[in-house]
Amino acid sequence: MAEDTAPRQGPLRGLRVVETATLAAGPTVATTLGEFGAEVIKVEQPGSGDPMRTWGDRRDGIGLVWKSISRNKRFVSLDLRVPDGQALLHRLLDISDVFVAGNRPSALERWGLDYESVHASHPHVVMVHVTGYGRGGPKSDHPGYGTLAEAMSGFAHQTGQPDGPPTLPPFMLADGVAGLAATYAVVMALYHRDVRGGQGQLVDVNLVEPLTRLLESATLAYDQLGLVKRRAGNMLAASAPRNTYRTADGCWLAVSGASPSIAARVFRAVGRADMAQNPEYVDPVRRQERAAEVDTVVAEWIGRHTLSEAMRVFDAAEVAAAPVYDAPSLLADEHLRARGTFTRIPDPDLGHVTVQAPVVRLSETPGRVAHLGRGLGHDNDAVYGRLLGLDAKKLDELRTKGTI
At residue 258, the pLDDT reads: 86
Closest CA to 203 of 70, 98, 50: 98
At residue 4, the pLDDT reads: 57
Planar angle of CA 330, 309, 282, nearest 5 degrees? 95
Q: Are 125 and 99 in contact (CB under 8 A)?
A: yes
- Give mean pLDDT in consecutive 10-residue pieces for the chain, a chain of 404 residues: 61 97 96 98 96 94 96 98 97 98 95 97 98 94 94 96 95 97 98 97 98 96 95 86 97 94 95 94 90 95 98 97 97 97 97 97 96 97 97 96 96
Query: Catalytic site residues?
Result: 175
DSSP 301-355: HHHTS-HHHHHHHHHHTT--EEE---HHHHHH-HHHHHHT-EEEEEETTTEEEEE
CA distance 229 to 237: 10
At residue 282, the pLDDT reads: 87
CA distance 166 to 334: 35
At residue 110, the pLDDT reads: 96
- Where do the domains of the chain lie, and which CATH numbers do they carry? 16-213+338-401 (3.40.50.10540), 242-246+252-323 (no CATH)
**Cα dist. 337→1, 246, 287, 320 in Å?**
21, 26, 37, 21
At residue 9, the pLDDT reads: 86
At residue 2, the pLDDT reads: 39
At residue 127, the pLDDT reads: 98
At residue 239, the pLDDT reads: 86
